[in-house]
């Protein structure tokens, strides 16, 4: 249900805002802080991947308009970029026209959790799991983990007072008026839930806060 709600939201209500946010067009002060924070987050995640990604399969899970997929392809990776919002995937494809890099990107509209995408060395899910409950988030990571050889990099919305309050306020609105809420997750709870992935351990973690953008990256690494 959540996946369907997100597809509708990112393909209609939020589509233009998302296109603007992920481009160079001028945006309001608040959105500019979000854009800057997201750039820092993308750079952080990409820096956690090996420098040389030639002949390496990477999944950009919930690719949106595709910036991370292209960054990773520049390093030589063979990228599969998937998003349930088909309209955003079309934008990503257009933006990639003329891309000259060592790697390549296969753009797919659909569920990033679909096993038919194949197996990967690394999976990156930037801000694509922030709308899911902690249970669903960890179920999604577990599903991806069986098809991943080395690392899974994802972000979650850390449970800060402000996010917690916004989440509660959001619940007051009637369902039809709500955009899919960002679900704040406590790091302690998340680590406890991830404990069931016995072949994996938590590696690096990095919180990025920039104005209205707060997100935390976490690296899961397969035990050697
Ligand atoms: C906040 S946006 C982030 C997009 C992109 N990763 C970025 O950082 O620019 C979240 C994206 O995740 C996608 N998404 C959420 N759940 C998904 C799923 N199960 N399969 C594919 N895409 C999903 C949404 O459609 C949306 O485009």
Measured from the CB, is residue 128 less than 6 Å from ligand 1?
yes
Q: Decide: 137 in ligand 1 pocket, CB within 6 A.
A: no
- 201 exposure class (CB count in 10 Å sphere: 0-12, 13-18, 19+): middle
Asked whether the beta carbons of 63 and 126 are under 8 A apart, the reply is no
Task: State if residue 127 touches ligand 1 by the CB under 6 angstroms criterion.
Answer: yes
187 lines ligand 1 (CB under 6 A): no
pLDDT of residue 53 exceeding 80: yes
Tell me the per-residue pLDDT of 62-110, one tens digit each, with 9 for 90 and over.
Answer: 999 999 999 999 999 999 999 999 999 999 999 999 887 778 999 999 9
CA of 50 to the centre of ligand 1 (A): 23
Reduced to 3 states, what is the DSSP secondary structure of residue 181?
Answer: coil
pLDDT of 135 above 90: yes
Distance CA 140, CA 149 (A): 16
Contact 216, 206 (CB under 8 A): yes
The finding on whether 34 has its CB within 6 A of some atom of ligand 1 is no
Across the chain, what does the average pLDDT equal? 92
- Residue 181 pLDDT > 60, yes or no? yes
- Matching residue, tokens 């390496």: 56
pLDDT number for residue 164:
63
Pocket test for ligand 1, best of 83, 114, 217 (most atoms within 8 A of CB): 83
C-alpha of residue 82 to centroid of ligand 1, in Å: 8
Q: Give 120-129 pLDDT, tens digit per residue.
A: 999 999 999 9
How far apart are alpha carbons 152 and 45 in whole angstroms?
10
């Amino acid at each position: 249900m959540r996946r369907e709600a997100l597809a509708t939201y990112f393909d209609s209500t939020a589509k233009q805002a998302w296109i603007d946010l992920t481009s160079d067009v001028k945006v309001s002060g608040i959105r500019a802080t979000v854009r800057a924070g997201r750039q820092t987050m993308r750079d952080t995640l990409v820096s956690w991947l090996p420098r040389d990604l030639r002949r390496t399969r990477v999944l950009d899970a919930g690719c949106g308009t595709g910036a991370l997929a292209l960054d990773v392809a520049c390093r030589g990776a063979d990228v599969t970029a998937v998003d349930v919002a088909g309209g955003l995937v079309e934008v990503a494809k257009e933006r990639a026209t003329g891309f000259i890099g060592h790697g390549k990107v296969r753009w797919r509209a659909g569920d990033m959790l679909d096993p038919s995408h194949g197996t990967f060395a690394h999976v990156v899910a930037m801000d694509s799991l922030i709308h899911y409950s902690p249970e669903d988030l960890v179920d999604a990571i577990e599903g991806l983990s069986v098809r991943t050889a080395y690392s899974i990099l994802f972000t979650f919305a850390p449970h800060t007072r402000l996010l917690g309050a916004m989440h509660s306020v959001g619940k007051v609105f009637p369902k039809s008026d709500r955009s899919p809420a960002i679900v704040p997750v406590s790091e302690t709870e998340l680590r406890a839930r991830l404990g069931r992935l016995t072949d994996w351990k938590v590696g690096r973690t990095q919180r990025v806060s920039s104005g209205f953008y707060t997100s935390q990256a976490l690296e899961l690494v397969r035990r050697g």
